[in-house]
Amino acid sequence: MTQAHTDSYYAASANHTLECVSLKGAERTDVCVVGAGITGLTAALNLAERGFKVTVLEANIVGWGASGRSGGQMIFGFGCDMPVIEKSAGKAAAQAMWDMSIEGIDLLRARVQQHQIECDLKQGHLHAAIKPRHVTELEEWQASLEKDYGYPSLSLWDQNQVQQHLNSERYLGGLYDANSGHIHPLNYTLGLARAALAAGVTIYTDSAVIKVVRKSKANVCITANGQVTAQQVLFCGNAYMGNLVPEISNKIMPVGTYIGASEPLGKVRAEALINNDMAVADMNFVLDYFRLSADYRMLFGGRVSYSTIAPANLRHTMLQRMLSVFPQLADVKMDYAWGGNVAITMNRGPHFGQVGEDLYFAQGFSGHGIVATGLAGQLMAEAVAGQAERFDVFSGIRHLPFPGGTLLRTPALVLAMAWYRLRDML
């Protein structure tokens, strides 16, 4: 049985709904995409534009997972710092990946413009320092990205400069990027789906893939009421893939993340908090991130659950986190609070690759999904079309399985992350 969108601000403010039917019977196609989020829909749209016949199978509804629930922060780079990638894959490969991450921002903007997707696209993002060591880290980060990766777009702000734009005394400085920004993620995902449908893609919802029978040039994706035979299959379910592809399931861990949306603040009050409409994320390991919505709510994300069990009173929890940054909002109600799972890897680097000749996957975006998912979809489409060089670069990132097996890896991760929580307090 298909599940509706979680009770989020995004679902309540969606521009439209998509009426797609469930798969019934047997079909053949060139490429079968598993998952109707940003990764899968970007790949499907790109392939359809190249002349491929594409079928998308979604377990629930379009944008049901992280693509329709996330913080919406459109940020350069990946979930890990570039030295992690450089150590694993080498400097040349790391440079190529960095350049592609910047290209990913351009690709998102291009899709919004090309298909007239109304998703409240805004420019500007700030990484904010809470502690003196964060300021030092930001200084070193800016120097490295400019010197080693040729990215001169970053501005280092001191406390006064931060407070000129962000009305909070919590932060000691920040690293501002005018090239990054934020979007309404569900409306962006729905816009991609409409563009894919217009390009000839077939999308089936309420059609969870329960098994894939692997055959050379004729893989079969089986659902409860039908099956799709395809030469190539793209696995784009990320945190919600389960054990469908056993070879890669232990390389990621689903982690719960949470967001609250305040009641509307009004234009004047909202702009008094963030006067340049940028998105913000702090430098803690367990970080807070926030931005204004198009209707002047504060969208405030924070907290993670490595057990994926949400806090008992999520709305109150998110309100308290918001007040730690903006105590002047003490009279404001939290209208919505919701959560969902993202997939992290052990090193927080993205995990792209193949399992067999015609089976591709992209997962483990580790909190940087808005840009990296679209990039992944683009690269998967290139690979299917016979141009796999850029997709294959990511295979240089070595990924270890989470220790502990299926039963013990979650409690093991909970214990390991306790150290990082403690470090955030110091």
- pLDDT score recorded for residue 413: 52
The tens place of each residue's pLDDT in the chain, 426 residues long, gives: 567 899 999 999 999 889 899 999 999 999 999 999 999 999 999 999 999 999 999 999 999 999 999 999 999 999 999 999 999 999 999 999 999 999 999 999 999 999 999 999 999 999 999 999 999 999 999 999 999 999 998 999 999 999 999 999 999 999 999 999 999 999 999 999 999 999 999 999 999 999 999 988 899 999 999 999 999 999 999 999 999 999 999 999 998 999 999 999 999 999 999 999 999 999 987 889 999 999 999 999 987 776 666 777 899 999 999 999 999 999 999 999 999 999 999 999 999 999 988 999 999 999 899 999 999 999 999 999 999 999 999 999 999 998 765 554 555 455 444 434 445 444
DSSP SS3 for 287: coil
**Total Cβ atoms within 10 A of residue 418:** 11
pLDDT for the residue 286: 81
- The yes/no answer on whether domain 1-121+183-250+345-426 falls in CATH 3.40.50.2300 is no
Query: Which residues fall within 8 angstroms of residue 149, CB to CB, at 6 or more apart?
Result: 82, 95, 98
Q: What is the predicted pLDDT for the residue at 425?
A: 46
Q: What is the largest CA-CA distance in the chain?
A: 63
Query: What is the distance between the alpha carbons of residues 155 and 136, in angstroms, rounded to a whole number?
Result: 14
Contacts of range 145-153, beta carbons closer than 8 Å, 24 or more positions apart: 145/82, 148/82, 149/82, 149/95, 149/98, 151/76, 151/98, 151/102, 153/177, 153/178, 153/179
Query: CA dihedral in degrees (337, 340, 346, 351; nearest 10)?
Result: -130
Predicted pLDDT of residue 402: 86
Confidence at residue 403, expressed as pLDDT on a 0 to 100 scale? 78
Domain boundary assignment for the chain? 1-121+183-250+345-426, 124-182+253-342
CA dist., res. 343 & res. 301, Å (int): 17
Handedness of CA 137, 140, 142, 144 (dihedral sign): negative
pTM for the whole structure? 0.94
pLDDT of residue 416: 47
C-alpha torsion 98→104→105→107, nearest 10: 150
Question: Helix 91-114 to helix 38-49 angle, to the nearest 10 degrees?
Answer: 80
Query: How confident is the model at residue 371, as a pLDDT?
Result: 97
- Give 23's DSSP letter: P
- Assign domain 124-182+253-342 to its CATH superfamily: D-Amino Acid Oxidase, subunit A, domain 2 (3.30.9.10)
Residue type, 220: V
Q: 109 is written with which tokens?
A: 């903007």
Tell me the residue ranges of DSSP E strands in 263-354.
Answer: 279-282, 289-292, 298-305, 334-344, 351-354
